[in-house]
Every structure is written in structure tokens, then in C-alpha cells.
Structure 1
């Protein structure tokens, strides 16, 4: 990637969003206790006041996606009438999964079911078979169709804007069907600013979790203390690596690294299924998928109006907010690799296949940990709920080839960390450069340093609680944008459907 003009630095989106992120970062570094206290207060207010809004908004996106996949616009192409998909179906699905799950799935695959086992939702007795089943069910729910519906909505809006209307690759472009040329003015700029700040927080949350887990892995594998010094050192080294890759333009290397990492994740999962409690895993997978399908609607709308929102706030509200804030980045990537597919193929490919893989991942890793506690009395769940970043390694060490599996997991997390940061830096550069697909190196460096700095600041000012607090709070305005995006997508598809008969499929009906 060669040097480009830095004229984009004068852009309003870059200046305002970078300034906001810088202020948040300085707040965390200079007054960490003050930030922790205020974010905790903000978190409590948002959860108590707007938790239901996150649940309702996410449910709306799920049912909107199913409507698109089964409704009258299902044969509309994401592109021109004669465009064909650029990637094979297998490659496309692999790229979706790597973009949308990665870090989070590896972090929470063991930690979430084990945490729910000892601290389940109200009405479930801790440490029981019911708690184990509930833990796996919620793991699949939190990493299943709902997250992918969030990603699919953003990706669909961007794909329509880019491939059907030839608009810039900006979040504001998705609103062209509603705002028209106004998307190029102040309204569009503020939409992009909210999207950029939200994306930075989502990315920083993911990088913070990755840092904690790499530290936890090093602690379990070679005995280093997972303290602030180790975590800051990890962030510094990873930042150096991914900024070097961004500035030297070795994106092809990053692509192969991503594919290799996906293969490594698959090998790790299959190995755990084979050397772990295979029959228990497969029976639990069947039961958990059945329970997920039968409880889908009630889970989608679950809130706790008669008690406080502590449990659902720490889990469901946090996940929906975090994934919403992360969605502009993931949505941009999914849109770029989905050109030429029909709406139906896109919706069901994005929603169902990654959900099935995620379900198997949670039951394989979380189920192995639960089996150790329930049938062998290993007593790991309490320790893992207190140190979720170490959960994966604690369980892997109990299996045959435990050390090798832990080293493989550490490599897996580190590569996910690097590739996610690399891609995120590029996407933020595009968002804050008026959609320019070759943003200036200066902009890339600024964003690379800022996402690492804010991840470090959040870790210093509250660890995982700090990450949860700022993700839930910052995602609120972008949730409103997402809901408006639903109307923009529908209007755009309706106009395209009326103007362009959608091929043979429509004529046959």
C-alpha cells in the first residue's frame, strides 16, 4: 500500500470521531477510577432503562431477516442482474464465520456455559443438570441467529448501496432510499461519526477480551502472571505486528492467515470432540439444538420486569449491545464478499450455517467442561466463572494432549487478535475517508493506535466489567440507526423489485 494524500484528514468524520475516541482513551488512562465509577453508573442506568430496547430491537432484526429470506424480495440480487458470486459457497461461509465470531467464540465457548452453571438465571438452581442445560442453551442463543441477524442487516444495507446503487462504502449510504442526497450532507456525516465511534468501542471490547485471554493462556501454559504489565505488553506487541501489516500492505498474507486460523479452529474443535466425552457432546448437541428451536421466541423477548436486570444485563444486554457496536465492521466485510448472491441465499447462508457451527463449538468446549464437573467432580466451574479468560485453557489441560491443545488455542487467539485488528483498522480508515478504499497511511496509523489505546484504557479502568459498561452505553445511538436502516432496506428492495423484474424465479411464480 503506497503513500497517499492526507487530504482526508480534514474530513469532519475523521476529526470528530478521532477526537471523541481520544478523549475516552485519555479519560481511561488519566482517571481510571473516575472512568470506572462513571461507566458503572451509566451501565446501571442504561440496563435498567433501555435493556428492553436492546432486546426488542434485536428481535425486530431477526424477524426482519426471516421476512426477507422468505418474502417477495428473496430473489433480488446483491448486485446487477447478471452478477455472479465472487467466492465459492464454502469459501464464502468460511469467511463469514471468521469475521463474525472469531475472538468472542474462543473466549466464551467454555466461560459462558460454566459461568451459567454456577450463576444461572433466576429460577434455575445452581450446579444442577438444569443449570448445565440452561448454560449451553444460553451460549447457543447468544452466539446463534440473533448476532448474525444484526450483522446481516448492516451487510445487506451496505451491499444494496454499493452493488445496486454504486454508492460509497459508508454506513450513511444505506440511508439513501430515505434521505436521498442529504446523506452527503451533515446528517450523513453524523451517521458515519456515530458508526465510527460505535465500531471503535466494539473493536476495543473484542481486543480487550483477546488481551485478557492471551494473558490467561500464557498464565496457564507457561506460568506468567496475568497482570496489567503482561496485558499492556501483549497489546503493544500485537499493535506493532498489525500496524506493520497494514502499512506494508501484506493483506494477502492476512487472508491466508485467516483461512489457516479457521482450519486450526476446526481441527481444535474436532480434536476436543474425539478425545473429550464424545457421546455426551453429541447427545447434548442434539438436545441443545432442539431446546434452542423450541424456545426461540421466548428467549428472543426475555426480560426480567419483576426483578433487577443484573443477570440479563451482564449477559444478553451486553452481547446485543457489543455485537451492535461491532456490526459496522463485520457488516462491511460480509457485504464485500457477498456480491452476486440473492437475498434469500445471503440471509440463510449468513444466519443458519454459522449458527450451527457455533452451537457445535459451545457444546463441544462448554459441554466438556460441564461433563468434568458433573460426572467427575472436577470443580472447575467456580474458578472459570471468576477467571473467564482462563476457562478454555483450564478445560484443555484436563484432556489428553492438553499442553499441545493449549498451545494451539493460544496461537488461534493470537492470530484472531492480529487479523481482527488489521481488518478493523482498514475498515475504520474507509469509514473516515469518505468511503475511499485506499485510505491514507496516516489515518490507518491513527486508528490502529487509537483502538489499541482505548482497549488498554478500558482494561486498566475496570477489566471485563469496564468493557461491558462502555459497549452497552455507546451502542445505544447506533441501535436507533439500525432500526431506521430496516426501513431503508425495505424501501430500496421494494423500489428495485418494481423497477427490475427479478429474473426467471419471479417469472416462474
Structure 2
């Protein structure tokens, strides 16, 4: 424990207080979180919309800018991982559990209760998928790409600690080493805890729903508690093996399993319909991207509430996940250029998400429209398994999916313990196992408390509230990066001119 910083102890104490609060008085915590959620959604929805759009515009700017050739590392550095492994690692850490949890349930939810117009229509089907792409597409990955880029640049090119505070050195100077820096890193720690804890809660709920379908086990909090306990043990074992073994192997396994489930689902469903639907709705998403990403519905309270509960929540979730996913992606991206990095992180995962939701969500919508199967009457947790039951090889799909959710669960938590370890040991690339174990236990305890204090609603609140202060830190990081980029380009030009004179 010699490597830990003040941020570790401050964050740990506050985490323990939060967990105890949830255990001793879950109803009180639920009430406080409900009021907080309403306050931020109603009063700052416009802000979340603007900042998410800003990150997308900034990421596109970086691809075409003169800074694209700058390397995330020294000029002679080579990438540490192959491209397939690199992609598998960034994707598994990014959205694994969410894709399975929301793959069918989100599009079918938007289909039955669309943001505009009447539910259950052909128009509602197209709108449902466009909004699902919006929530999981370019905006989300632009946030990840930008923050990961900043962290990777300062860590591998400038040799600074892999901390959020360290990236602000060009703006704040030596103050990043004092109380201001500690506050920044503590905010990042809590955003990571709440963002990941929400995903762990979703994962436990869906694993429970799946085993309930297969084995008739009750679908309740007690079973979910047992699931979290078992998976906690597994990901702590994985975390102890380090990033080159546990996370790497699990990430590759996740990718293979996800592809297997995807292709089974695609070819056993209405394949041609799904491919046509994907092309059509993706075109609509691209065509309407600016208006979709800035819609707030100020004249209609019902539509405004929909935007707040879905779109604004997602922007807050991705912002809250940014330190976690950003730190992890940065850690495995040494040696890439700015242009290669941003294109890969922004475009490839977005396309994968579009294909995934078109196939899974499109199948649910197809069953509703053409087969009169009431997928929309299922809960978010059970919609996927209900659709499986309508297909051949249902049991094979269910078992594979349960295993995949579990490995995504382990990978996300494993990666999170590594990132939290980095954030609380002054950016160490190999934080002690004892630190990772402590944060692993805190993550599981936080997930349990959120489930006990209001379930999905409590998870959404924790994300939205923690993302708000963090968003200002992320904006400062962008300004700091641009300042350093300009200075680097200016220095190179000056050096080039001097060489020509010689």
C-alpha cells in the first residue's frame, strides 16, 4: 500500500460512507437520489446535449486536423497490441454488458413508446432504431475517444502520470500536484465507481433473468446479490493476473462469443429484412444526426421527459464512464497516431453498435409487426430471452448469452479495478493487487447499494450527478490538449526552419 496517494484514502472513506448510508437507510438514499436526478435532468438537459455534441465535433476535427500525425508515444514507439486484440480490448471495456441488456429492449421500448408520434407503427420502428444508434453511436464514442486521447498523449508522449489531473498541467501548472489535482482525481474516481456499478447492476439483473428462464430460479434481489458475489470473486482473480493475461484473454474470448451469438441470431432471424432495415435506419441516423443530438422538446412535457430519461441519461452515462474507458483505452493504445486512434475508436465501434442493434432490436420489432409477438410487454431484463424463445436453438443462445454477459461483467469490472488502481496510485501502469482488490469490493458494494436503493432509477441518478462536475474537467482537458498540440506543432516548425538554415 506504499504506492497509494491521498486520493485513494479520500475516495475510499467517502465510498464506505456511501455504502453504509445505502445499507442503513436505503429509503432515505433513494429519496435523495430521486430529487437529485430530477433536478439535473430538468435544469441541465440542454448542457448535456451541447457537451455531447461538442465532443463529436472535436473528434471529427482531430481526424482532419494537422495534429493527426502526432504519435501517442515517442516517434519510434510501436503499438503494444495487434489491431484485432486492441479493438477487442477497447470494445469489451466500453459497452459489453449494455449491448446485451439493451440490444432488444431499447429499440422495442422506443418502438412502443417513441419520442415523437404514435407507437407501434412503421414510422415508430425507424425512429426507434435511429434514436438507439444516437445513444450508442458517434456521440458516445467521441466522448471516449477524446478523453482517451488526452490521457494517452500526456502519458506516453509527455511522460506524465496517467491521471486526469496530470493532463491539466498546461492549464493549471504545479497546482495539479496539490488539493486542486486531488479534487479532480477524486471526481474521476467516483464517476468511474458509479458508472461501472450501474453496469454491474444491469449485468446481475440480466443474468438473473436468464437463469430464471432456463432453470426457474427466482428473479429477485437475493439471487442478484449471490450473482454479484460469485462474479466479484471471479473478476478479482482475473484482476490479479494483470492486463497482459486476464483482461487480454477475456477480451478476445468476449469478441469471439459475441460474434458467435450475433451470427446465430442474424441467420436464424429474418436476415434480409434485418439487413435492409439496418441500411435504411443508419442512413436516417446519419441524415438527422445534428437534430437528433440536440433535441429537447421544450413545448411538450411528455416528449421532454422521454429525452431526459433516455438521451440525457446516456450522455451522462458516457461522461461518467469516460475516466474508466478513457484510461483503459489509453493504456492499450501506445504507439498509435492521433488520426488512427480517433478513427478507430470513433468509427469502428459505432458501426458495430449499429449492426448489433439493427439485428437484435430489428428482430424484436419484426416479431411485433409481422408475427404479433408481444416483445414490448417484456421487462428490459427479459426481452432478449423472450425473443430467443421464438427462435430455433433457443437454449443454445440463452446459455451462450449468459456466459457472454458473465465474461463482459468480469472484463468490465476487471478493467475498472485496474483503472481505479491507476487513478489512486499516481498513474501506475501496474497498480498493486491489494489496491485492485479493495476497489473491486467497493464496486460490488456500490452496485448492491444502488440496487437496494431504487434499482435502475438509483443507478441513473448516481451517473447523472457524478457526470456533471466531471464534464467541466473534461472540457478543461480538451483545452489543455489543444494548447499542447499547438506548442508541439510550433516547436516542430521552428526546428525545421533551423535545420534548413544550417
**TM-score interval for Structure 1 and Structure 2 normalised by the shorter chain:** over 0.9
Say if 2:204 is the partner of 1:203: no
Give the CA deviation at 1:53. Answer: 0.8
Residue matched to 1:456: 448
* In 2, Cα distance between equivalents of 1:418 and 1:287: 35
For the Cα contact (< 8 Å) 2:85–2:248, is it kept in 1? no
Report whether the alignment pairs 1:268 with 2:261: yes
1:307-340 CA distance string (max 9 Å, x none): 3332111111111111111111111111122222
Distance 1:389 1:280 in 2: 25
Show CA shifts across 1:100-156 (max 9, x none).
1211111111110011111111x3101111111111111111111111111111101
Tell me how far 1:342 sits from its aligned partner: 1.6
Q: Distance in 2 between matches of 1:100 and 1:72?
A: 28
Alignment-derived partner of residue 374 in structure 2: 379
Aligned to 1:357: 352
2:500 corresponds to: none
State whether residues 202 and 326 of structure 1, in contact with CA within 8 Å, keep that contact through their aligned partners in structure 2. yes
Equivalent residue for 2:403, pick from 380, 393, 411: 411
Unaligned runs of 5+ in 1: 1-5, 505-509
Per-residue CA distance 1:408-442 (angstroms, 9 max, x = gap): 00000001001111111111011011112333333
Task: Provide the residue aligned with 2:75 in structure 1.
Answer: 81
2:172 equivalent among 173, 179, 203 = 179
Partner of 2:30: 36
Residue 473 of structure 1, aligned match among 445, 450, 465: 465
| Structure 2 spans left out of the alignment, 5+ residues | 497-502
Cα deviation, residue 256, structure 1: 1.3
Structure 1 residues 90 and 240, CA gap change in structure 2 (3 angstroms): closer
- Give the alignment of 1:60-459 within 5 angstroms: 60-121=54-115, 123-247=116-240, 249=242, 252-308=245-301, 309-383=304-378, 387-459=379-451
Query: Structure 1 residue 20 and structure 2 residue 29: aligned?
Result: no
1:96 is displaced (CA, Å) by 2.2
Distance change (3 Å), C-alpha of 1:109 and 1:56: same
Mean CA deviation greater in 355-364 or 88-97: 88-97
Deviation sequence 1:476-502 (CA, Å, 0-9, x none): 100111111110111111111112359
Deviation at 1:31, TM superposition (A): 1.0
The question of whether the paired residues in 1 share the 8 Å contact of 2:78 and 2:334 is answered with yes
- 1:84, CA displacement in angstroms? 2.6
Residue 305 of structure 1: CA displacement?
A: 1.5
In the superposition, the TM-score normalised over structure 2's length comes to: 0.95
CA distance in 2, matches of 1:247, 1:73: 38
SS in 1 for 2:103: helix
- C-alpha distance in 2 between matches for 1:232 and 1:373: 33
In the superposition, relative to structure 1, how do residues 253 and 164 fare at CA in structure 2: closer, same or farther (>3 Å)?
Answer: closer
Structure 2: distance between partners of 1:483 and 1:502: 29
What is the root-mean-square deviation in Å for CA atoms of aligned residues?
A: 1.7
Distance 2:223 2:254 in 1: 24
Query: CA contact under 8 A between 1:239 and 1:449: conserved in structure 2?
Result: yes
Paired with 1:184 and 1:303, the residues of 2 have a C-alpha distance of: 40
Cα distance between partner residues in 1 of 2:161 and 2:246: 26
- Normalising by structure 1, we get a TM-score of 0.94
Distance 1:21 1:408 in 2: 35
8 Å contact kept, 1:47–1:317: yes
Residue 463 of structure 1: how far off its partner (Å): 1.1
- The CA distance in 2 between the partners of 1:259 and 1:250, in whole Å, is 12
- Tell me the distance in 1 between the aligned counterparts of 2:292 and 2:385: 30
- Structure 2 distance, partners of 1:323, 1:25, is 23
Work out the CA distance in 1 between the residues paired with 2:34 and 2:408: 29
- Match in the other structure for 1:59: 53
Alignment check: 8 A CA contact 2:239 2:247 kept = no
Instruction: Describe the SS at the equivalent of 1:301.
Output: coil
Per-residue deviation at 1:245?
2.7
Which deviates further from its counterpart, 241-250 or 275-284? 241-250
| Residues 270 and 426 of structure 1: CA distance in aligned 2, closer, same or farther (over 3 Å) | same
Are 1:488 and 2:480 counterparts?
A: yes
56-65 vs 183-192, greater mean Cα deviation: 183-192
In 1, distance between residues paired with 2:155 and 2:290? 33
Structure 1 residue 397: deviation in Å?
A: 1.6
